[in-house]
Copies of this chain bind each other. A is one copy, B any other.
Amino acid sequence: MTTLDWTQRFSGTAALPTRVRERLNKAAHIKHLKKGERVFGPTKIPDGLMFLYEGRIRVSQSSDSGREIVLYRVDAGESCVLTTACMLAEEAYNAEGVAETDVTVVILPKMTFDRLSAEEDSFRNFVFAAYSRRLIDLLRVVDDVAFGRIDVRLADRLLTLGQGLKEVRATHQELASELGTAREVISRVLNDFQKRGLIEQSRGLITFRNKAELEAIAAAP
């Protein structure tokens, strides 16, 4: 079906015998999506387990009132269990996944997924670990939202998004959606950061001036 052997890319499948991996390569569907496209959402639930072969997916939840919060990101080599969770639970929810870069996903049909988790320990453990990881991620989100100060969270998120870079390319609205708050709030805090010489701003771009101090803020003031 394809020449792409994705099974080498995931810790849950890489160790499987060649014979099994060939079977998987036959059963799976491969999809390419452009940056910005919706990978899954309330009206678009894939019928199987999703592996992210390449790129990054941003998973977020949105409110009726139009606000949004980023729950976590799925990186290449990870699987996205939230979709399977929703498949099973059949409950209302409003989380969606958006391709943050061009993306290649592998979709393993439910039947193959079931068989594999029965037969292969390493695969099953991989799936359990994926679930666990997301649970922990969500615990962190709850903790932040319920108890965290907005300046602390923003400083932290800027540094995360800026990973070793000198700047972050994002609008205030996008940052608000990261943290589940309103744009005006972000504007205020960023202006405060700027006054204190921690960053510089221009349209859609934030430049670091003093990462050390930002880190201090992010570590709870």
Residues of A within 8 A of B (CB): 61, 63-65, 67, 69, 71, 81-82, 84-89, 91, 93-95, 114, 117-119, 121, 124, 128-129, 131-136, 138-143, 145-147, 180, 220
Contact = CB atoms under 8 A, between A and B. Distances in A.
Given A63-B143, A145-B146, A132 B89 contact: yes
List the number of copies, as a whole number. 2
A7 to B, nearest CB: 20
A147 B63 CA distance: 7
Contacts of A220: 64
A139 B95 contact: yes
Contact of A117 (B84, B88, B124): B124
A138 B133 CA distance: 13
A124 to B, nearest CB: 6
